[in-house]
Amino acid sequence: MFGSAALALALLAGVPARAEPKPVTLSVMTYNVEGLPWPVRSGRGTALKQIGHELAAMRAKGAEPDVVLIQEGFRDEIWDLIDESGYPYVARGPRKGQRDPNYFAQGERPDFRRVKYRRKGEGLGKWGSSGLWVLSNHPIAWVKSHAYRYCAGLDCLANKGVMLVAIHVPGLPVPVEIADTHLNSKGASGVPRSRATAAHHLQADELKRFMQADRTPGAPLIVGGDFNVMHSADRFDHVMNDYPFEVVSRWCHERPKTCDTQISYDGDAPWLDTQDLIGFLDGDAVKVTPTAVEATFDGASEPVLSDHDGYKVTFKLTPKG
C-alpha cells in the first residue's frame, strides 16, 4: 500500500500509484416459494406469478436482490415467476431424471435402507425435479449439480439436491460461486423423526462432498437454501461439522455492530429460528463480508406469498491486494 510519502515519490518519478481495490456489493436472497403441485397445494400457480410481479416491482425501485436462490419451484408456473421478475440469467438444478454417482465408497456406505416406508413415498420414483433455481442479474459462467441419493418419506418424491453456479460480478477478479440446496424435511416427510434426521444427515454429507469435489479451490463462496434445521441443533451441527463456511445469522449475532439486521428473533441462536440459511466463505482473491440482513415477502414491503419468508443478505465483496 502506498503511504503519502510513497505516493509523492511515485508521482515525482512518473510511476502511477496502485489503486486500492474497490469493494463490490452483492445481495443474495433465498426463498422457498412453495411451488408444490395440486392436490398437495392449491392456488400456487397464481402465487408464483405474483412473486415474479413483486420481484419486478422491487427491480423498478432498484431494490431487487442481485441473486435469487429458489427452492420448491416444481410447478410449470415457475416460468411465469421467472418471466415476470426480469432476471436476465437463469440456471436450473437437478431435473426429475438426474441420477448421480454415489459419493460414498464401497467400504463406507451408510447403513440406511433406502426403501422402508413405501406408503410414504419411498421407492415410488421421482415425481418432480429438485425444485432448485438460481436467478441472477450477472452472467452465469457455469452450472454444476448433484441429486441426493438418500432421502426419507414424502421428500423422496422430489429429486432433491444441490446446484452450484459461478457468477461473473463486475469489479471482481474471479467469479463468485453460489450454491443452492434443499435438505430433507422433518415432520412433513411423514416418517419417524429418526429416519428423517438420518436422511438429512446423509444429504448434508453429500452436500459437503459435492462442494469439496466440484467447487473451485480458493473461490469466494456463498451457500444458501432451505436447510430444514429450525429448532434442531443436531441437524444444524451436522451440516456445519467439517465444513468451513460461516452462517450469516450466527456471524452477525456475534458482531451486532457489523451487520444491519432487520429481522427480529428471540433467544441466542437465531440460526435455529428458521429453515432458511445463507453462509459464506472468503476466497483467495476476494474477501466476503455480510453487511445487512432482512426479511422479504413477510407482509411488510411485500405480501406473504409462501409458507416461508424470503431471506436476503447483502455482502461486501472486497478484492484482496
Residues 6+ apart with CB under 8 A from 256: none
pLDDT at residue 6 greater than cutoff 70: no
CATH node for 23-319: 3.60.10.10
Cα separation, 258 vs 281, in Å, equals 17
- The fraction of the chain above a pLDDT of 70, given in percent, is 93
What beta strand segments (E) does 103-193 contain?
Answer: 133-136, 140-147, 161-167, 176-182
Cα dihedral 140→98→200→153 (10° resolution): 140
Continuous H helices in the chain: 4-13, 44-60, 78-85, 193-214, 233-240, 248-254
116 versus 105: the higher-pLDDT residue is: 116
- Stretch 114-130: mean pLDDT: 94
Say if CB 282 and CB 220 are below 8 A apart: yes
pLDDT of residue 190: 95
Task: Give the sign of the dihedral formed by CA 268, CA 276, CA 61, CA 301.
Answer: negative
- The fraction of the chain above a pLDDT of 90, given in percent, is 82
DSSP calls for 259-276: SEEE----SS-GGGS-SE
pLDDT tens figures, 240-264 = 998 878 999 999 999 988 999 988 7
What does the domain layout of the chain look like in residue ranges?
Answer: 23-319
- For 62, the grid coordinates are 432498484
pLDDT tens figures, 195-245 = 999 999 999 999 999 999 999 999 999 999 999 999 999 999 999 998 878
Say if CB 103 and CB 210 are below 8 A apart: yes
pLDDT band at 272 (very low <50, low <70, confident <90, very high): very high
pLDDT at residue 268 greater than cutoff 90: no
pLDDT band at 15 (very low <50, low <70, confident <90, very high): low
pLDDT band at 2 (very low <50, low <70, confident <90, very high): very low
Cα separation, 290 vs 288, in Å, equals 7
Three-class secondary structure assignment of 27-95: EEEEEEEEECCCCCCCCHHHHHHHHHHHHHHHHHCCCCCCEEEEEEECCCCHHHHHHHHCCCEEEECCC
Cα dihedral 44→179→173→293 (10° resolution): 60
pLDDT at residue 265 greater than cutoff 80: no
pLDDT at residue 316 greater than cutoff 90: yes
pLDDT at residue 116 greater than cutoff 60: yes
pLDDT tens figures, 33-90 = 999 886 677 789 999 999 999 999 999 999 999 999 999 999 999 999 999 999 999 9
Cis ω for the linkage preceding 39 (within 30 of 0): yes
pLDDT at residue 4 greater than cutoff 60: no
Query: Which of 154, 135, 151 minimizes the C-alpha distance to 143?
Result: 135
120 versus 15: the higher-pLDDT residue is: 120
pLDDT at residue 1 greater than cutoff 50: no
